[in-house]
Chain A
């Protein structure tokens, strides 16, 4: 069926290219819901470019698989179109509608007179409809992919932002961990922490896990790796911010953390770190 209808299809389009284009642009411009961000000139340009590539691709005989090389230029153009339109403030459905709106002028030419060649015409309509749907959906997918790339980039930025290493005293650094401690996160924490230990010549590092929602075996393993690496640098590690429910969960899981110094709060950890450094404090009540 594909091969049979392919020839008349592309001939039909080549023959009436200008008419189809004019009608298509006219329809788009008269559409009230059309996004105002897209200038008329660029709409005309992309419309004629689309028809040109569309004709080219179906002339090569492929009317159903847009993943094939003959559609490559078209895919490229649509990807660009969807990116520009997104930056002009169009939604993905606006961009898809741009393609779907070609159906009207195109189909009008496929069903010329009532009662004549109905089966053949409806087969061609069906085929074209599927094809335009695929192209329209392709623009939506591209839009989504662009979005996802942005999200991934932001996630990465957030990951790096959310692991500050703070110098709390001479020779004492602290890292407040917030969120899930997965492998990527541990890697970043470890790198920044070890670097800060070198830079400040610290002897004690405090890892605060108040903001870590769960400590499962993987998180525990990651914490232990960080502790071992810190030790190799000649510094000691204190883990603080262990909430009661986390403590009980760790015990139930059966994780052995006996050789790690832990404290309930960051304040306790700082006190311990200072005591180890030989610092002692006095409170002068008369000055309060």
Chain B
């Protein structure tokens, strides 16, 4: 795709440590608030919040805690919200397997990663060392 690009420095909206289930609840409402402030529709707010919930839980359960960074990113003709989840956990050895529906290393449904990929517009996974998952939703 040939796009004329103008990348403006992302606007940092928030940063939060993720260690406990309570952090997750706080992060979820922060993400929803920022998405609502940016003008996302109710549907997209719910999608973003749900993806954040899945990825945040991965950080806590698989990565032994980490953090999330919430940013407003701007390009020439579009605005978006970007969430970057980072942890120093064991990482994901086989990303393709981890991203397939129904695969779980624990007792979950195995839809967290693949599901949040479908809920968002862009998905980037860097691992190992640790795990960094970067997801973006455009307005």
Contact B50 A216, beta carbon cutoff 8 Å? yes
Interface segment among B7-15, B73-81, B86-94, B104-112: the answer is: B104-112
Partner of B119, one of A180, A220, A252: A252
Contact B46 A217, beta carbon cutoff 8 Å? no
* A264 neighbours in B (Cβ, 8 Å): none
* A216 neighbours in B (Cβ, 8 Å): 50, 53-54, 57, 112
Main secondary structure on chain A at its contact with chain B?
helix
Mask of B12-32 contacts with A, CB within 8 angstroms, 1/0 = 000000000100010011001
Nearest Cβ on chain A to B51's Cβ, whole angstroms: 8
Contact B111 A253, beta carbon cutoff 8 Å? yes
Interface range, A side: 20 to 34
Chain B CB within 10 Å, residue with most, of A220, A244, A246, A253 = A253
Contact B112 A217, beta carbon cutoff 8 Å? yes
Which partner residue on chain B sits nearest A253 by CB separation?
A: B115
Contact A254 B114, beta carbon cutoff 8 Å? yes
Contact A254 B47, beta carbon cutoff 8 Å? no
CA distance A218 to B50 in the complex (A): 10
Nearest Cβ on chain B to A97's Cβ, whole angstroms: 31
Which partner residue on chain A sits nearest B55 by CB separation?
A: A216
A249-B47, A249-B50 known; A218 vs B115 contact (CB < 8 Å): no
Chain B 31-87 interface residues, beta-carbon cutoff 8 Å to A: 32, 42-43, 45-47, 49-50, 53-54, 57
For the complex with contacts A216-B54, A254-B111, 17 further pairs of A-B residues with Cβ separation under 8 Å are A180-B25, A213-B29, A217-B54, A218-B57, A218-B108, A221-B108, A244-B43, A245-B42, A248-B46, A248-B47, A249-B46, A249-B50, A252-B47, A253-B50, A253-B54, A254-B114, A255-B115
